[in-house]
Amino acid sequence: MAFKSILSLVALAVAASAAPAAPSAVCSQGRLAKNAACCKWFDVLDDIQTNLFDGGECGEEVHESLRLTFHDAIGFSESAVREGKFGGGGADGSIMAFAEIETNFHANNGVDEIVEAQRPFAIKHGVSFGDFIQFAGAVGVSNCLGGPRLQFLAGRSNISRPAPDLTVPEPSDATNTIFARMGDAGFSPNEVVDLLVSHTVAAQDHVDPTIPGTPFDSTPSTFDAQFFVETLLTGDLFPGNGSNVGEVLSPLHGEFRLQSDFEIARDARTACEWQSFLTNHDLMVAKFTAAMAKLAILGHSARELVDCSEVIPVPKPAAVKVASFPAGKSRANVQAACRATPFPTLSTQPGPATSVAPVPPS
Ligand code: HEM
Ligand SMILES: *[C@@H]1O[C@H](CO)[C@@H](O)[C@H](O)[C@H]1NC(C)=O
Ligand SMILES: *[C@@H]1O[C@H](CO)[C@@H](O)[C@H](O)[C@H]1NC(C)=O
């Protein structure tokens, strides 16, 4: 190669690294965006952090907003697309536009509250329901200590059709059923685990309505790996019979375990992905971020949307990056299911066993 063209390559590389993405728009409070179309999202951000998320908390509203990103987007079917049928429009806001239909589906039990809480914000700011739902989830989870900074692409159409019933998995579904449904939306079993990282900032209200706010791990406001170790602990069988027969409860008082999480944690197809997050927070965040980027644009093409990711706040890091056994628990209480990799050495939290506090209602 001629010396001159090497020089110009170097010059190009320097120019590119010095100004990879020069912001072209100055938005409110001097904040910068690459695309002027993103500016309005800073105003949505300010509004929801103050008026929806109680000043930037990682509480009930955030948990519900994150859940809603899934329940809207998973209304999508690759097999329907192949057959030229309508199987749902994906992340299209239909769960808000047609709330009277979709929130009556059994698997959507309880999402009506956050749909109604979010809707006025979307209307006030003139943004599409599909965009708003994904934005609120991304902003919300950035409030959780150690949380991800999710991608946010804007520009989904506000026009949608109601998704059909039975696209959202249920905790009582067999693992094969869940993997088949998720596979039909484009997710591998390991990517289902990656999405289930969300259950580290989660609680139940409606599976057992007598104990609302019961979290899935001991740290429901922290985006950590406690969910992944606590779901692997041996538990007690559900006392009684009926639909809960065979269900294994969390051994931690005040903690709720979904049957689907119990099974996916122990399934040969997914146990190693599950275990891999215990000692690798960066990996857990990276896998979740990648899977959420896919989820958020189901039914869309990234090329048709505008990247406004700079609007999503940078989360505060978690103090603890490796999971530990709750007080009183040890390796002897673990049902390790990954055959390829030994279970990692984890420390045990000091002190007597404590009860997990419920997530307060907002
Ligand atoms: C794959 C199968 C999944 C099943 C069977 C499932 C099931 C459930 C159930 C039954 C609840 C409790 C709801 C209630 O009683 O209020 C719940 C909560 C939650 N789920 Fe999932 N989920 C799945 C995947 C996901 C995904 C992919 C996400 C997000 C990306 C997600 C995010 C959440 C969050 C954040 C909560 C907590 C809501 C709150 O605390 O108010 N889930 N999930
Ligand atoms: C989106 O559609 C809903 C009706 O489903 C409407 O109330 C809302 O104003 C629309 N938003 C925009 C930005 O067009
Ligand atoms: C199931 O539980 C109910 C009450 O909880 C009891 O009356 C019934 O006999 C039980 N059935 C079986 C098969 O154990």
The reply to whether 63 belongs to the active site is no
CB atoms within 10 A of CB 140: 29
Residues β-bridged to residue 145: 222
What is the structure's pLDDT at 11?
45
Q: What's the pLDDT at 247?
A: 83
Q: What is the CA radius of gyration of the chain?
A: 22
Instruction: Report the nearest-CA residue for atom 8 of ligand 3.
Output: 241
CATH topology of domain 35-333: Peroxidase; domain 1 (1.10.520)
For residue range 76-134, what is the model confidence (pLDDT) as tens digits? Answer: 999 999 999 999 999 999 999 999 999 999 999 999 999 999 999 999 999 999 999 99
- Predicted confidence band at 237 (pLDDT cuts at 50, 70, 90)? confident
Beta carbon of 133 within 6 Å of any ligand 2 atom:
no
The model's confidence at residue 21, banded by pLDDT at 50, 70 and 90, is: low
pLDDT, average across residues 209-238: 95
Percent of the chain with pLDDT over 90: 89
In this prediction, residue 14 carries a pLDDT of: 43
- Which position among 71, 199, 281, 300 bears the catalytic label? 71
Q: Which of 237, 238, 241 to probe ligand 3 with, by most ligand atoms within 8 A of CB?
A: 241
- Mean pLDDT taken over the chain: 93
pLDDT score for 246: 73
Q: What is the mean pLDDT of residues 215-220?
A: 98
Dist. CA 16 → ligand 1 center (Å)? 42
Task: Flag whether pLDDT at 286 surpasses 50.
Answer: yes
Query: 307-356 pLDDT, tens per residue?
Result: 999 999 999 999 989 999 999 999 999 999 999 999 999 999 999 999 99
Cβ < 6 A, ligand 3 pocket = 240-241
> Collapsing DSSP states into helix, strand and coil, what is residue 341?
coil
What is the C-alpha separation between 266 and 340, in angstroms, rounded? 13
Widest CA span in the chain: 80
Which ligand lies nearest to the CA atom of residue 242 in the structure?
3
What residue's CA is closest to ligand 3, atom 9? 241
pLDDT reported for residue 362: 83
Atom of ligand 3 nearest to the CA of 241: 1
Read off the pLDDT band of 22 (50, 70, 90).
low
What's the pLDDT score for residue 17?
46
Q: Which amino acid is at 227?
A: F
Q: How many Cβ atoms are within 10 Å of 11's Cβ, its own excluded? A: 10
